[in-house]
Amino acid sequence: MSFEDTLRKFTEQMKMPAFPDDWKGSIDGLRESFYRASRSVERDLPNLAEMSNLIVDGADGPLKARLYVPLGAGIAPAPAILFFHGGGFVLGDLDSHDIICRRLAAGSHCRVLSIDYRLAPESKFPAAHADALAAWTWATERGDMLGFDPDRIAVAGDSAGGNLAAFICQETNRTGQHMPAFQLLLYPLVQFVDIRKKKLTFQEGGFFLTPNLFDYFRDNYIENDTDRMDPRVSPLFADDAAFAGLPPAHMVLCGWDPLKDEGQAYVSKLAAHGVSVTVREHAGMVHGFMNMTAFSTTVREAIHDAGVVVGKALGSI
């Protein structure tokens, strides 16, 4: 199957339903489509030493989480990754990103803890961000139980999850809290204001993340228009002090992604403030491509390669 056929199949599975006045029906349909498109059965899925479901502390109650321990994780306390799934703060859960986490754990030789934070529209901004910070605090304080070395924990996420990872780094930097050792940002959402004013190619705007879907996600999560520029949800627009002293970063970008330019701008800001940052652009890939492991060995390799970067940064490889 060519990659163009893969894109057509994935985007057909992810076809956005009509949105009636009853938002509950539309959200349920979109979540089900996202789940179906993200699930896969793969013969070459890496074996793990352990996988277990946990409960962690959120900002306003317990959250579900899942711990992945790869065969090469090493003796505890060891490097680890705190992972946040994408989905525009509206979609996604532990299962939709299960394959990504398995492959990231195997590639990095790190324990991975995936967090099931609260979603919109049931929980509005800043609920997901508050949950992410609470989960970070919980993980760093319970390193002995999890087998984590608190000084060698990376934050990672794709799309909206990359937003949460970037937010944790900026917020802990701002407040003087214990900071992550590394940040892995997979085609992250770094501004949640607008993409309609951008001149998008068909490839950038014709697949999963369209301007309509961007607006739908934004308007379901952010109630007040003035909050769109809040640096918690738009870390690209944080002041200079928020960038100075941030942990090293690795950014994965997609050539056919309406968020690519913002990702490149975020890389430039990191570098301008002396932050060590590397970039890997997958020229022919679309936003969300790491959920297409069922269709492409190239996608599987991309996740593995990103894991290797983190593993080398944390000393597990």
Which pLDDT score is estimated for 38?
Answer: 75
Q: Which of 196, 20, 172, 211 is nearest to 82 (CA)?
A: 172
Q: What domains sit in the chain, N to C, each tagged with a CATH number?
A: 3-314 (3.40.50.1820)
* 205 pLDDT higher than 50: no
* Mean pLDDT for the chain overall: 90
Distances (CA, A) of 48 to 109, 122, 148: 10, 34, 17
pLDDT tens-digit series, residues 127-157: 999 999 999 999 999 989 999 999 999 999 9
Per-residue confidence band for 209, with pLDDT thresholds at 50, 70 and 90:
confident
Which pLDDT score is estimated for 27?
Answer: 85
* 199 pLDDT higher than 80: no
Cis preceding-peptide flag for 62 (omega within 30 of 0) = no
Helices 160-175, 127-141: inter-axial angle, 10-degree rounding = 60
pLDDT tens-digit series, residues 284-296: 899 999 998 988 8
Q: What is the pTM of this model?
A: 0.91
Q: Which of 298, 304, 316 is nearest to 152 (CA)?
A: 316
Which pLDDT score is estimated for 210?
Answer: 84
Q: What is the chain's length?
A: 317
Per-residue confidence band for 28, with pLDDT thresholds at 50, 70 and 90:
confident
Which pLDDT score is estimated for 18?
Answer: 44
Please identify which of the residues 159, 234, 296, 316 carries the catalytic annotation.
159
Give the residue-averaged pLDDT of 187-200. Answer: 85
Distances (CA, A) of 252 to 24, 126, 257: 33, 25, 11
Give the residue-averaged pLDDT of 298-311. Answer: 97
pLDDT tens-digit series, residues 45-69: 999 999 999 999 999 999 999 999 9
Q: What is the DSSP letter of 248?
A: P
Q: Which of 14-18, 34-38, 109-113 has the highest mean pLDDT?
A: 109-113
H or E segment and range at residue 301: helix 297-314
Q: Does the annotation mark 97 as catalytic?
A: no
Which pLDDT score is estimated for 32?
Answer: 84
Q: What is the DSSP letter of 227?
A: G
Give the separation between CA 213 and CA 5, rounded to whole angstroms: 22
pLDDT tens-digit series, residues 85-111: 999 999 999 999 999 999 999 999 999
End-to-end CA distance of the chain: 33
Please identify which of the residues 116, 149, 257, 316 carries the catalytic annotation.
257
Give the separation between CA 61 and CA 183, rounded to whole angstroms: 26
Give the residue-averaged pLDDT of 219-226. Answer: 97
Q: Which two tokens stand for residue 141?
A: 């304080």
Q: Does the annotation mark 159 as catalytic?
A: yes
Please identify which of the residues 129, 250, 282, 287 carries the catalytic annotation.
287
* 203 pLDDT higher than 60: no
